[in-house]
Amino acid sequence: MNKTMTTGILVIIIGLALTFTTCSLFEDDKDNGTDDIIILGNVSSVLPANSKVVQFAWARNVWDMQVFGNRIYLGYGSWANSSPSGAINCGPIPIVAWDTTTNSFAIEEVYAHANSNGDLTLRPNGAEDEQLWQFHVINGSLYTPGTDSRGIFGGTSTVEWDLGNFYIRQSDETWLKKRTIPGGIHVFDIAGFNNKLYVGIGRSSDVEGSFGIMCSEDGGSTWYAPDGIQPTSRIYKLINWKDTLYGFAARSNTNVLRAYATDKTNTTVYDQNIGRLSSITDTSSWIIRKHAVIGDTLAFITLHRGEGGTTDNWDAPGELFYTDSFSNNINIPKAVLPEPRALPVDILARDGYVYILANVQKGSNNFTVIVYKTENFIQFEECLRFNYGTLARSFEEYEENFYFGMGALDGNAPSELAGTIIKVPFAK
């Protein structure tokens, strides 16, 4: 099947998949019709026809959306080494954004230093990773960590996993690949803290000096392990909160929250108990995936292992927790959403409110997408909802519009609607 036919079929499927219900905070009419929800297209429409992302719906999960300038950047791909749907190692990943000015997808070029002289060469296939999981704005620049290095550099066939990647957007709308992180086969997160860069990685035990958290004082050219850290294999999440940077690994068979922490005095503590999650549904294996801060309160969403049950198959939506402090004995409460079946997947802080994206699954191809807002994680106001043939994985807000990145649950037949971008007008 050629790319044109594939794209045409996707458009028909997308058009038939959407039904509509009340959107309670729209500016004009609370019982909105089809004019209020706009299907912008599918990320696969701008990718090469032979891309695994086009071939496998699971790889079109829109894991993250990040506004930067007038564009919304899309994280997608699959770094799984095993998957019921067959979507295994689906890079390279062109860096794709939705341009809100031209109302079209845009692909931004990626460059890398080709040799020790500093010469830059175009990487025609985009990011040389199997997946881009998230984007972060750090000191006015946009970054994305390379979730799973493809292990090939410079156009050669030599496998090179001694260094990991991250990417930083340049002022000319191109990206610079930096392949500098020791043993960083997987670079799960990146954060700025205390005038330094930090990354949480899945390290290679074969590389000396590679640790679960690495630090750079020169913009990512060189890295070292912070004092006191042990060689933990994987740190999935970094959170900068209340003058402390926390790093979180996966947890299994427990509701105890533990973290590596460093403060602005460079005092470090590794792997300390900082609380217990209340009423967590599944303690078999979970990570912290998304977070937001409102005032002194930190809120975060967990993610659980999916069908494959492996460490590279984090896809099952989890729960929303909130706290105003961490301590060894603190009980961290779970937020109770108005719809008890709604599973949160993403969170945004805007203008003194936190917005939560959640899904209610009604059948294998029947989901209700809901956005709530709250100031205190006790009272919630429903902003909007719509029915669709698959779940929303991520969302973003820009100029009184919500943008949704649709995804899929792993399985033998994940939804072909994955990768669809939807726009819904929203009056705050």
Q: What is the pLDDT of residues 155-171, one digit of tens each?
A: 555 667 889 999 999 99
Determine contact, residues 19/387, Cβ cutoff 8 Å. yes
Letter string b/e over residues 317-356, b meaning 16 or more CB atoms within 10 A of that residue's CB: bbbbbbbeebeeeeebebbebeeeebbbbbbbeeeebbbb
Nearest to 131 by CA among 394, 312, 285: 312
Q: Which residues pair with 137 in a beta bridge?
A: 142
pLDDT classification of 9: cutoffs 50, 70, 90: very low
Cβ(231)–Cβ(203) below 8 Å: yes
- Classified as helix, coil or strand, 8 is helix
Looking at every residue in the chain, the average pLDDT score rounds to 88
Mean pLDDT across the stretch 321-338? 96
Does residue 229 have a pLDDT over 70? yes
**CA dist., res. 11 & res. 14, Å (int):** 5
Structural domains present in the chain: 3-425 (2.130.10.10)
Antiparallel, parallel or unpaired: β 175-182 and 110-113: parallel
Give the span between the Cα atoms of 425 and 428, in whole angstroms. 10
Q: Is the pLDDT of residue 268 over 90?
A: no
113-122, 242-251, 279-288: lowest mean pLDDT where? Answer: 113-122
CB atoms within 10 A of CB 240: 16
Q: Is the pLDDT of residue 154 over 60?
A: no
Band of pLDDT at residue 313, cut at 50, 70 and 90: confident
Mean predicted confidence (pLDDT) in 51-58: 95
pTM value?
A: 0.91
pLDDT of residue 151: 72
pLDDT digits (tens, 9 = 90+) for 283-301: 889 999 999 999 999 999 9
**pLDDT for residue 77:** 96
| Cα gap 427→400, rounded to integer Å | 6
Structure tokens at 332: 């961290």
Question: Could you give the maximum distance between any two Cα atoms of the chain, in Å?
Answer: 62
Beta-carbon contacts of 93 under 8 Å, excluding residues fewer than 6 positions away, are 53, 76, 77, 126, 127, 129, 130, 131, 132
Q: What's the mean pLDDT in 319-332?
A: 96
In this predicted structure, the answer to whether residue 209 has a pLDDT above a threshold of 80 is no
The DSSP output letter for 226 is P
